[in-house]
Structure 1
Amino acid sequence: MFTLLIVIIVLALIFDYINGFHDAANSIATIVATKVLTPFQAVLWAAFFNFAAYFISRYWIGEFKIGNTIAKTVNVDFITLEVILAGLIAAITWNLLTWKLGIPSSSSHTLIGGFMGAALAHAFTIDGADLNTVVNYAKVIPIVLFIFCAPLIGMIVAYFLTILILNICRKANPARADRWFKRLQLVSSALFSLGHGANDAQKVMGIIGAAVIYYHTNIEVDPNYLKAEDPFKYFVSHWEWVPITSFLMIGLGTMSGGWKIVKTMGSKITKVTSLEGVAAETAGAITLYTSEHFGIPVSTTHTITGSIIGVGITKRVSAVRWGVTISLLWAWILTIPVSAIIAGLVYYLVTLF
């Protein structure tokens, strides 16, 4: 069983790396589209701030709320190492498939969907199990609501922020203003990358935490976990290398790029200027920081897409390519159920051996 725990930790960190290059476009698409930085410079910039987010979460916020939420999305009675393994395999499969197709789906939601799907499959194998108690709805319902709320908040904030900036700068020299906004885009993209790192790296921490807690409460029993008021916080305090490695891996993944999705995010939804890039990234960052404050894991992909749509609407509604947006929306809706189905199938295969 210890070997299986190690395999889960390794797979979780691989997922974290994939998450980085799958979601790299979120924080660099607009800065590349406006030619403020080259693609290589942009991924280095984003990767640095992805990792720097660890220090903000650890020493400024003082806890990893999102990781704690992820670890508790499934009732502990239905968590096993096999469940976590199947969920991770499903999440990695869906992430690689959507990356290959250039679809900016949510790494967050595929991980949650995989975790819940595998747990439900496990519950079906238990005689008399109450399937209604498998999912911790107090944690999951806010996550599901924010599938729709996060892009909507990003869109609204970006819209009004763009209008505000345009009114403030209406008498500015266009060439001079553009130079300033190119510089400001470095700041706004850094803010969004910090939010991306803080939000997404913690999700992997939550999965690893669930596996470690299960191992120490059911297999190699550690009384410290049994008596801890919050086992996840106890886990983080004694496995300090996990959060550091999680933030490092997402940064390394970001450095690997993800250029197909950059193209979708940076130009296919709507054309953006440096001013609009600043507004979109700032709006996205505000949304991510707000959700992190409440411990709600959201999709950085959904958030920045909504923000880009928001700046596009300020020009005219037709400036947004709604056909592309509707295709993305279908991918968002399907991510959790498809990941859950894949995870359920993987769970049955895993338990055969």
Structure 2
Amino acid sequence: MLTMLLLVILAALVFEFINGFHDTANSIATVVATKVLTPTQAVMLAAATNLVGAFSGTAVAKTISSGLVDTGLVTVSSEVLICALTGAIIWNLITWALGLPSSSSHALIGGLCGAALAAGHNNVDVLIWSKTAAVWTENKGILWKVVIPMVSSPIAGFTLGILIMGGLMAIISGMNSAGGILARMARPKWVNAIFGKAQLLSAGYMGFAHGSNDAQKTMGIIALAIFSANSAGTLDQLPNWAEFLRPNGGEKDIDTWIIFTCALVMALGTSVGGWRIIKTLGHKMVKLHPINGFAAETSSATILLTAAHFGMPVSTTHSISTAIMGVGFAKNPHALKLTIIERIIWAWVLTIPAAGGLAWGMVNLLFLLH
């Protein structure tokens, strides 16, 4: 039914909006925490760079729409997708209320997998675990696109944060040792001034990278809904006002209106409620200065763009949080506040099973009601 398809799209955009104030807040946390930009200025920068980043590719969207669930074994109906999105939304709202930067990406993946598993009557084969290709970068499935990136991206974020921050500290130390004008430029006042400007670039880089990865995930859900509806014949007799729903390309193409709409909705969500999580990332984990923010954003954005290139829907939350941890560790291993980090890690560990369990339960409830 067309109505159900429209409800899926609406639910997906609600998720994207919540993703905006939940995850995009993570992408601008450091530039706000270092006081380089005000929250309003950071939101405007994030909105603009997210929009540009969202148009930079569709590899992640294609992974979500066709790389995790075998649609040949299970019908991913509109009802199933609504349950998937609802599970992800509920978990996002719970973690947002608690101020925990858990991953919207993993909530969405968990919701999709949980709902598909229930729709397939718990047949685990409906989930694509691993499909290898001639080139490893073209491998598909949960193992290659979710599990491995989920483990490796936090490690990479932490390591890259240490390396970049350590490198910058070594350069400043060398300038101090050199004396003269170099030593004067290495003073905190000059360092803060220079990296205050540099962080504008790194924040834009972070926003672009976030758009290139995170905005695509909801695009994939909407594309999956449209492909499924098209296969079921729902789009055969569309009214004129709904013609935009008809796919313009093949089953792996993401239409421009989907890209543009998701990017705009995410940007709108950014402006609404991200400050709670910004405080956790930017203030509670470790005290940040502009040079630290620059190092963390550069580390995180590099990971996000690399993952997006290979179609891996990694977590912005994981990458920026662990990059901040790495930067803090490079400054002073004792500066990290382990209690906050422990709460964040628990939120990470629980996200996929929690969102998946919620979605699984809702699909089974639908079966009972039918």
TM-score, structure 2 length as denominator? 0.86
**Deviations 1:218-259, CA, capped at 9 Å, x for gaps:** 23376xxxxx995121xx2xx321111011111111122311
Q: In the TM superposition, what are the counterparts of 1:101-120 in structure 2 within 5 Å?
A: 101-120=98-117
User: Who is 2:165 aligned against?
Assistant: 162
| Cα distance in structure 2, aligned partners of 1:18 and 1:101 | 15
1:90–1:339 Cα contact (<8 Å) kept:
yes
Task: State the AA in 2 paired with 1:75.
Answer: D
| Cα distance in structure 1, aligned partners of 2:126 and 2:349 | 21
Question: Per the alignment, do residues 221 and 15 of structure 1 end up closer, same or farther by CA in structure 2, a change over 3 Å counting?
Answer: closer
| Cα distance in structure 1, aligned partners of 2:24 and 2:309 | 23
| Cα distance in structure 2, aligned partners of 1:281 and 1:182 | 13
Structure 1: runs of 5 or more not aligned = 58-62, 223-227
Residue in structure 2 matching 1:85, options 78, 82, 86 = 82
Task: State the AA in 2 paired with 1:261.
Answer: I
| Cα distance in structure 1, aligned partners of 2:280 and 2:118 | 35
Residue in structure 2 matching 1:177, options 162, 182, 191 = 191
Deviates more, 1:21-30 or 1:114-123: 21-30
Number of residue-to-residue matches in the alignment: 333
Question: Per the alignment, do residues 261 and 229 of structure 1 end up closer, same or farther by CA in structure 2, a change over 3 Å counting?
Answer: closer
1:43–1:256 Cα contact (<8 Å) kept:
no
User: Who is 2:152 aligned against?
Assistant: 149
Residue in structure 1 matching 2:211, options 197, 206, 210 = 197
Q: Quote the offset at 1:322 in angstroms.
A: 1.5
User: Who is 1:6 aligned against?
Assistant: 6
| Cα distance in structure 2, aligned partners of 1:348 and 1:105 | 26
| Cα distance in structure 1, aligned partners of 2:27 and 2:105 | 16
1:30–1:272 Cα contact (<8 Å) kept:
yes
Q: Quote the offset at 1:173 in angstroms.
A: 3.1
- State the 4+ residue runs in structure 1 displaced beyond 4 angstroms: none
Counterpart secondary structure, 1:319: coil
Task: State the AA in 2 paired with 1:67.
Answer: A
1:43–1:257 Cα contact (<8 Å) kept:
no
**Deviations 1:278-333, CA, capped at 9 Å, x for gaps:** 00000001000110111100000000001000001112221111221111111101
Deviates more, 1:296-305 or 1:35-44: 35-44
Q: Quote the offset at 1:25 in angstroms.
A: 2.4
Structure 2: runs of 5 or more not aligned = 131-140, 176-185, 237-247
Q: In the TM superposition, what are the counterparts of 1:127-146 in structure 2 within 5 Å?
A: 131-138=123-130, 139-142=141-144, 143-146=146-149
Deviates more, 1:207-216 or 1:168-177: 168-177
Residue in structure 1 matching 2:70, options 64, 70, 75 = 75
2:54–2:216 Cα contact (<8 Å) kept:
no
- Pairing 1:209–2:207 present: no
Task: State the AA in 2 paired with 1:315.
Answer: K
| Cα distance in structure 2, aligned partners of 1:32 and 1:273 | 10
User: Who is 1:231 aligned against?
Assistant: 251
Q: Quote the offset at 1:24 in angstroms.
A: 2.7
Task: State the AA in 1 paired with 2:203.
Answer: S
Larger Rg: 2
Counterpart secondary structure, 2:300: helix
| Cα distance in structure 2, aligned partners of 1:204 and 1:92 | 12
| Cα distance in structure 1, aligned partners of 2:109 and 2:124 | 17
| Cα distance in structure 1, aligned partners of 2:266 and 2:213 | 11
Structure with greater proportional helix content:
1
Q: Quote the offset at 1:49 in angstroms.
A: 1.1
Deviates more, 1:41-50 or 1:261-270: 41-50
Superposed CA RMSD: 1.7
Q: Quote the offset at 1:164 in angstroms.
A: 1.1
User: Who is 1:225 aligned against?
Assistant: none
Counterpart secondary structure, 1:46: helix
Counterpart secondary structure, 2:87: helix
